[in-house]
A and B are shown apart, each in its own frame.
Chain A
Amino acid sequence: MSENNNQTQPEALFSARNKKLLTNPLGKDNPINVQVLGICSVLAITVQLRTSLVMAISVVAVMGLANVIISILRKTIPPRIRIIVQLTVIASLVILVDQVLKAFVYDISRQLSVFVGLIITNCIIMGRLEAFALKNKVWPSFLDGIGNAAGYGWVLLTVGFFRELLGSGTLMGHQVIPDFMYEMGYENNGFMILPPMALITVGVIIWVQRHRDRSLVDVS
């Protein structure tokens, strides 16, 4: 995906190649399932679906914008200090996101606590800036950022869904397991709330994905 520098003819906004930038990270190039990046935040903030959702949206925003900004600046950034420049861009965006969260969804911002700030160190974002935005035009970079963040997001949401449903019996804070189940002796699964279960849930997602797409299985 890196050598896309041919500037001979203008291409359509959603050419096949551009579409791929958006869809590949959702499936066979997924940052979590296939590249196994950003696991730390998956373990930390997926106890509830709501926090997962907010986190996913935040990452989509940061990643799309960061990719665009770096892509615009790509010819002016000296290669030697590019990492610092990237970090500065990401950090500024994360601070923006953090302020917005604090202003509008204070409770969730409290729950996410340090993990909003830690978006800065999310290796998926750095990785895409390094691997893609530094070498590509603005529009493809934007798509790539959104695509990867969405790929990160859906895994986050899936894990959050199962963890909240089985761990707390709720979804988005509303109780979904009916009362009579509890009266019959059903109990919430406390293990689901602990981080190891997030890892196992991601593992199961990877399992299902590789079962459906055999090309992902490393045969070497």
Chain B
Amino acid sequence: MHNLLDKVRPHFEKGGRFPKMYRTFEAFETFLFVKGDVTTRGSHIRDAMDMKRTMFHVIIALTPVLLFGMWNVGLQHYRAMGEEVAFIDQFLFGLIRVLPLVVVSYASGLIVEFIFATIRDHEVNEGFLVSGMLIPLIIPVTTPLWMVAVATVFAVIIGKEVFGGTGMNILNPALLARSFLFFAYPAYLSGEENPAGNFVWTQAPADQAVDAFSGATPLAVAATESTIGEASVSQIMESMPSALEMFLGTIPGSVGETSTLLILLGGLILVATGVGSVRIMLSVVAGGLFMGLLFNLFAVNAFMELPVYYHLIMGGFAFGTVYMATDPVSASQTGSGKYIYGFLIGVVTLLIRVVNPAYPEGMMLAILFMNVFAPLIDHYVVEANIKRRMKRLQAVGEKSA
């Protein structure tokens, strides 16, 4: 393999047959091997953890969630149709539905990446390896493929390339893709039934489903029941799946967001490999719990009385906490900044969920919102640090004088 690459390399370098394609070639080469660059001046300490390896760890951490998501798609489908089938059939059904989403997301995003890398003559950025996997995981399985493609292209161009590519983006590209879908095609991304006559969250035609099946996500149940009726909190909890089901993830929802258990596993992998920030994850949870308890204390409707831990296992809270909020580019960079950033994500998420009936899920909007504020938080953390050190310096100066 390496020999083959070496053999074709001259064709892509300057003077070769396809100099324009050099960046494409380089991307494939470094994808397979660590690049053979040697520092030319001075001594450097180098690590095998270049960005591609980092991204690869995230992919590993995403795999359990993805596999579970595939199975859950099948499970929900057969549940809706009222059929009992074997585990492997459920998984295969989900595989066939989810795989096209992954392929479309990767293909459309990478085409844009390669075009920009060629025009601007920079390396193809590996950031999209993760975004391309995240996008299919945070949308309903029923999203039409062309919409996925449009949203991905939009997210890569407007979210990333206009700011200068990977590492320069203000917003998380995967969430940008989802929010684009959410605002552009709301009927396909929220509610119970999409215009094509399908459930939004379950791959099954709505008119053929068994009567007992409701396609609504737990969050939607909570939001609608508490706004329309006089439903008490116990009634709401009854019409929702049990807490155990929500923790395990056998509920309707976006492909990868349902299983809190496996997301925790992925979170452990991220933390163990040093890719994800524990500070952010913990502070998001803390922010969510804080706001949830506050709601419990001053509850005026049933939704506000909902036990706090429900919020952690419903909807995209866990997924967003582990995979989205910790995005190293768009999150806060400073240590204490990360606490503030994470905490506010938790708080805003619950605010949007509970107070605003128009948006049942608040994780996406909360993270995007705090992405925008991350540089500001960092700025003040750095300023405060400088001030403190200046004071210390002055104190030392006075003593010695």
Contact = CB atoms under 8 A, between A and B. Distances in A.
B144 interface: yes
9 contacts: A185-B146, A186-B146, A187-B147, A187-B188, A187-B195, A189-B184, A189-B185, A190-B184, A194-B183
Contacts of A207: 162
Contacts of B144: 185, 187
B88 to A, nearest CB: 30
Given A189-B185, A190-B183, A203-B162, 5 more contacts: A187-B188, A187-B195, A190-B184, A203-B158, A207-B162
Contacts of A191: 180, 183-184
B96 interface: no
Contacts of A26: none
Nearest to B147: A187
A192 interface: yes
B164 interface: no
Interface in B128-149: 144, 146-147
A91 B258 CA distance: 58
Interface residues of A, number: 11
Contact of A190 (B146, B158, B162, B185): B185
Interface string B167-183: 00000000000001001
Interface in B185-215: 185-188, 195-196
A190 B196 CA distance: 16
A200 interface: yes
A203 B154 CA distance: 13
Interface of A: 185-187, 189-192, 194, 200, 203, 207
Contacts of A192: 184
A43 to B, nearest CB: 15
Interface residues of B, number: 15
A66 to B, nearest CB: 36
A200 B158 contact: yes
A187 B146 CA distance: 10
A185 B196 contact: yes
A194 B179 CA distance: 13
Contacts of A194: 183
Interface of B: 144, 146-147, 150, 158, 162, 180, 183-188, 195-196
Contacts of A190: 183-186
B200 to A, nearest CB: 14
Nearest to B157: A204
A191 B189 CA distance: 13
Contacts of B158: 200, 203
A136 B353 CA distance: 58
A203 B150 CA distance: 18
A192 B196 CA distance: 21
Nearest to B196: A185
- What are the 8 A-B residue pairs with the smallest beta carbon separation, nearest first? A191-B184, A191-B183, A189-B184, A190-B184, A187-B185, A185-B144, A190-B186, A200-B158
Nearest to B184: A191
Contacts of A189: 150, 184-185
Nearest to A187: B185
A187 B150 CA distance: 12
A21 B158 CA distance: 34
Contacts of B187: 187
A177 to B, nearest CB: 14
Contacts of A185: 144, 146, 196
A211 to B, nearest CB: 10
Max chain A Cβ within 10 angstroms of own Cβ: one of B144, B147, B184, B188: B184
Nearest to A191: B184
Contacts of B184: 189-192
A192 B185 CA distance: 10
Contacts of A186: 146
Nearest to B146: A185
A189 B196 CA distance: 16
Contacts of A203: 158, 162
A186 B162 CA distance: 27
A142 B352 CA distance: 51
A187 B196 CA distance: 11
Contacts of B185: 187, 189-190
Contacts of B183: 190-191, 194
B175 to A, nearest CB: 15
A187 B185 CA distance: 7
A190 B190 CA distance: 13
A187 B195 CA distance: 10
A132 B74 CA distance: 69
A207 B184 CA distance: 23
B163 to A, nearest CB: 11
A190 B195 CA distance: 14
Contacts of B196: 185
A218 to B, nearest CB: 15
A194 B196 CA distance: 23
